[in-house]
A and B are shown apart, each in its own frame.
Chain A
Amino acid sequence: MKLDAHIPSGPLDTCWTRHKDSLPLLSPANKAKRTLIVVGTGLAGASAAASLAELGYTVHAFCYQDSARRAHSIAAQGGINAAKNYANDGDSVWRLFYETIKGGDFRAREANVYRLAEVSGAIIDQCVAQGVPFAREYGGGLANRSFGGALVSRTFYARGQTGQQLLLGAYSALARQVAAGKVLMHPRTEMLDLVVVDGHARGIVTRDLVTGRIELWAGDAVLLCTGGYSNVFYLSTNAKGCNATAIWRAHRRGAGFANPCFTQIHPTCIPQAGEYQSKLTLMSESLRNDGRVWVPRRAGDTRPASAIPEEERDYYLERMYPSYGNLTPRDVASRAAKRMCDEGRGVGPGGRGVFLDLTGAVRTQGRAVIEERYGNLFEMYQRITGEDPYEVPMRIYPAPHYTMGGLWVDYNLMSTIPGLFVLGEANFSDHGANRLGASALMQGLADGYFIAPYTVTGYLASTRLAPVSTDHQAFRAAQAEVEERTRRLVSLSGPRSVDELHRELGSVMWNLCGMSRTAAGLRQAMERIAELRQRFWQEVRVPGGAEDLNQELEKAGRVVDYLELADLMCRDALAREESCGGHFREEYQTPDGEARRDDEHFAHVAVWEWSGDEQPPRRHTEPLSFANVQLTTRSYA
């Protein structure tokens, strides 16, 4: 597997500009003749589809939801970073770049991260022009707030619904192109395979989720914008339908999978309440701006929060990390919460929770101020738990939230399969081993609005592609495989539901490949996954047929892919013999329990190559070189 990142040489701060200038162009007439396939309509997919259509391409856009507007980017709460320095607090492109690369524990490429910081300002401009109702100051200017992992206020927000508003902005741009006839929108359609012709990605196989029809789509390039794979854990903050099938099927067709073990466990989610639980709900980490995280000093203290006097509370983040305090990055905050609970100082049912206390802020700043900032979050918390966070501290616990790993891409966002581009959370590119708050929205929109339009054009202008139709043998073969898999799935008539097996997989992954990992645990996880893969085909029942809306069939296909991906995550976690960011190996920690990175042996991207169902995947590496930043131990103390 050839891994050339195609990073332009020369100074970092002019890399992207020089690269754009060097990319070949296509004439408007030629663009009109090209067809592009965009899978997923979240921030990355909707912004890419709309922007490419504006350039004149014909775009087929696909989503599994009933409308493009429902993609899970919509649930992002807190905000989006941009190095505008409106707060005059010393922010700059360099600082956003540096904090992002440091926050990722130096496991991302300098040039990619710098570009992300560089285009961040244009994203805000674009969104404001679309009518995104960002929070404003009284003077009419945009308001900013600070966010986990940052010392400056660079986060733009629309109440606690920033993702929703940014997505509706991108969706409206997409809708405009649908009306113009340049985007052909295919909702309720799931991609089930990638078609590669003569080494180039040329199309996809889909299933119409209402009629069950398997369809073939040919094009000149395919863009996967299908999000992350946190649902491997069953319980996560992702939407129920979020899945890894598109990227996993592309991986099986030859796309390298980078750093699959880099998963983010978000520190501030509502703890699990029971066995029937179907998902976990995030409480935006913006709450940590005004909230204080604490547990009782004494293990086994079951008194209600109000009965625990101030001196018997341990504000452990403020104690352990005095300079960042409650704003320490997510990986650090999550592990600290786990440690408190492991020490027996957790609160709530089962002792798996810590307090996130805003009652003090309500007292000092007044209810109105807090309500304006976090009203909808408080409401959501109260709905789910039945407790009033204005009166009693919230209980939170970490939960799987985001995956930094994903398909490997070069500087052009192209995977190891020419013509297959991967945008947003689905790629591995910008967040290293840990993502900072408010930067997922930034990356999704950067990729879609400002990067892919240039690099996809560059690819098309420099590549000779023979015309291809869906009658091509590669299309027919992929279709036959999909039909066969579907037929096998609907014929399953064991005693158990797909969800039961998925829950089992989730619990294996959470316990053995979650916040804390060991070599022995990972080996055990791989054995259990292998066993689950066998049992899946014997024990699962998929009621109904393949020719209509069948939600159990949809789930079954996704879980088959999770079972394979889970194995790869464990392999990757086992091979990475260091702790960095969200990947914490118990064998590699400092005496005070912090992550111990090994830059000598692991300052690289691990890229896995699929070697067939019978062979273990092969591990390749892309070395990471740091010419502009000094590799330091991340310290938030």
Chain B
Amino acid sequence: MRLELHIWRQAGPKARGRFVTYPLDGVSEHMSFLEMLDHLNQQLIARGEEPVAFEHDCREGICGSCGVVINGQAHGPLPGTTCCQLHMRHFADGDVLFIEPWRARAFPVLKDLVVDRSAFDRIIQAGGYISTRTGSAPEANAIPVAKSAAELAMDAAACIGCGACVAACPNGAAMLFVAAKITHLGVLPQGQPERLRRARAMVAQMERELFGGCSNARECEAVCPKNISIATIARLNRDFLKASLSA
């Protein structure tokens, strides 16, 4: 199939970016979206041009490296799917695709489609963990965990930290990302001792990183490749409120 691509090119963090048009032939429906970009890059290299920089690694939907906005949708049109797992069979011959990086104040563009998501790491560093030293753990089965709690924790822990939620949010909020971690740890018995402190610390860091707040647009849930529910945000709000009242 043949596509018309309009790709955001930006030489560096401080450079001005712009859309560049690339007609692309010979796209197979079995290619993944990233393989389609590889295909373009091979042609650019052959022509002596610089290939499009984009983030990718595992290419099986789990590392969270990849992510671009395709025609206005983070990770493209297929629900619950990262763009490395999005295959070209979901597009049609002659399609015009606008491909841009995540756009959010907290995610500055580094080059072309690559953004800096280190703010997510700093949020986890602020409190997205259970404080336990290596070697100090009790016997694993000494802590019974209800199956339902484990399943709920796992649903939230499936977050891959890709940042699509932020890119899709009109406020550039990281609420779904933070809420997923708060939920994962907060529904488990091991996570109770630090539960309120965690909510307070993570939200504070989120605000320092210039992420916006939630206004229930639900765009994050719609684009999340791991289908994380905004019910987690309700949990975050509850824990944060409790933390604020007990502070």
A-to-B contact residues, CB < 8 Å:
47, 50-51, 54, 65-70, 72, 74-75, 84, 86, 121-122, 124-131, 133-142, 158-159, 161, 164-165, 168, 171-173, 175-176, 178-179, 185, 187, 210, 239-241, 273-274, 276-279, 281-282, 379-380, 383-384, 386, 449-450, 453, 495, 497, 499-500, 541, 543-544, 548-549, 551-552
Q: Is B220 an interface residue (CB 8 A)?
A: no
A276 to B35 alpha-carbon distance, docked (Å): 7
Q: What A residues does B111 contact at CB under 8 A?
A: 548-549
A159→B154 contact, CB < 8 A: yes
**What secondary structure prevails in chain B residues at the interface with A?**
loop
Q: Is B60 an interface residue (CB 8 A)?
A: yes
Q: What A residues does B146 contact at CB under 8 A?
A: 136, 140
Residue of B nearest to A183 (CB): B125
A386 to B90 alpha-carbon distance, docked (Å): 10
**C-beta contact mask, B139-159 vs A, less than 8 Å → 1, else 0?**
111011111001101100110
Q: Is B215 an interface residue (CB 8 A)?
A: no
Residue from A131, A137, A171, A175 having most chain B Cβ neighbours under 10 A:
A131
A175→B125 contact, CB < 8 A: yes
Q: What A residues does B41 contact at CB under 8 A?
A: 497
B62→A142 contact, CB < 8 A: no
A453 to B133 alpha-carbon distance, docked (Å): 12
A576 to B206 alpha-carbon distance, docked (Å): 56
A134 to B151 alpha-carbon distance, docked (Å): 9
With A129-B136, A161-B158, A453-B134 given, is the CB distance from A239 to B35 under 8 Å?
A: no
Residue of A nearest to B134 (CB): A51
Q: What A residues does B178 contact at CB under 8 A?
A: none
With A66-B116, A277-B35 given, is the CB distance from A386 to B125 under 8 Å?
A: no
Nearest CB of chain B from residue A348's CB, rounded to whole Å: 12
Total CB contacts across the A-B interface at under 8 A? 218
The number of chain B residues with a CB under 8 A from chain A is 81
Nearest CB of chain B from residue A75's CB, rounded to whole Å: 5
**Would you list 20 pairs from A and B whose C-beta atoms are within 8 A, ordered by A residue?**
A66-B65, A67-B121, A75-B62, A75-B63, A121-B140, A126-B134, A130-B130, A131-B191, A136-B145, A141-B144, A142-B140, A178-B121, A276-B38, A383-B61, A384-B87, A386-B87, A450-B134, A453-B134, A543-B45, A543-B50
Nearest CB of chain A from residue B230's CB, rounded to whole Å: 20
Nearest CB of chain A from residue B83's CB, rounded to whole Å: 11
Q: Is B101 an interface residue (CB 8 A)?
A: no
Q: Which of B1-9, B168-176, B182-190, B235-243 contacts A (4 or more CB under 8 A)?
A: B182-190
A136→B147 contact, CB < 8 A: yes
Q: What A residues does B80 contact at CB under 8 A?
A: 379
Q: What B residues does A449 contact at CB under 8 A?
A: 134-135
With A159-B154, A171-B124, A380-B85 given, is the CB distance from A129 to B190 under 8 Å?
A: yes
Q: Is B212 an interface residue (CB 8 A)?
A: no
A165 to B180 alpha-carbon distance, docked (Å): 13
Q: What B residues does A279 contact at CB under 8 A?
A: 59-60
Residue of B nearest to A50 (CB): B134
Q: A133-B151, A278-B59 are in contact. List 16 more A-B contacts (CB 8 A).
A: A70-B65, A74-B63, A126-B137, A129-B190, A131-B188, A164-B158, A173-B129, A175-B121, A175-B125, A179-B126, A239-B58, A276-B38, A384-B32, A384-B85, A497-B41, A543-B44
Q: Is B114 an interface residue (CB 8 A)?
A: yes
Partner of B60, one of A133, A273, A380: A380
A171 to B124 alpha-carbon distance, docked (Å): 9
B130→A131 contact, CB < 8 A: yes
Q: What A residues does B53 contact at CB under 8 A?
A: 549, 551
Q: What A residues does B229 contact at CB under 8 A?
A: none
**C-beta contact mask, B31-49 vs A, less than 8 Å → 1, else 0?**
1101100110110111011
B130→A129 contact, CB < 8 A: yes
B184→A133 contact, CB < 8 A: yes
A65→B134 contact, CB < 8 A: no
Partner of A54, one of B46, B85, B134, B160: B134
B134→A133 contact, CB < 8 A: no
A551→B51 contact, CB < 8 A: yes
Residue of B nearest to A70 (CB): B63
Q: Is B25 an interface residue (CB 8 A)?
A: no
Q: What A residues does B132 contact at CB under 8 A?
A: 126, 129-130, 173
Partner of A72, one of B58, B64, B130: B58
B114→A549 contact, CB < 8 A: yes
Q: What A residues does B85 contact at CB under 8 A?
A: 380, 383-384
A268 to B188 alpha-carbon distance, docked (Å): 34
Q: What A residues does B139 contact at CB under 8 A?
A: 125
With A161-B62, A276-B39, A449-B134 given, is the CB distance from A65 to B57 under 8 Å?
A: yes
A141 to B145 alpha-carbon distance, docked (Å): 7
Nearest CB of chain B from residue A155's CB, rounded to whole Å: 14
Q: What B residues does A125 contact at CB under 8 A?
A: 137-140
Q: What B residues does A176 contact at CB under 8 A?
A: 125, 129, 131
Residue from A86, A175, A178 having most chain B Cβ neighbours under 10 A:
A175
A127 to B146 alpha-carbon distance, docked (Å): 17
Nearest CB of chain A from residue B202's CB, rounded to whole Å: 11
Nearest CB of chain A from residue B68's CB, rounded to whole Å: 14
B153→A131 contact, CB < 8 A: yes
A178 to B44 alpha-carbon distance, docked (Å): 40
A551 to B49 alpha-carbon distance, docked (Å): 13
Partner of B30, one of A134, A210, A274, A541: A274
A450 to B134 alpha-carbon distance, docked (Å): 8
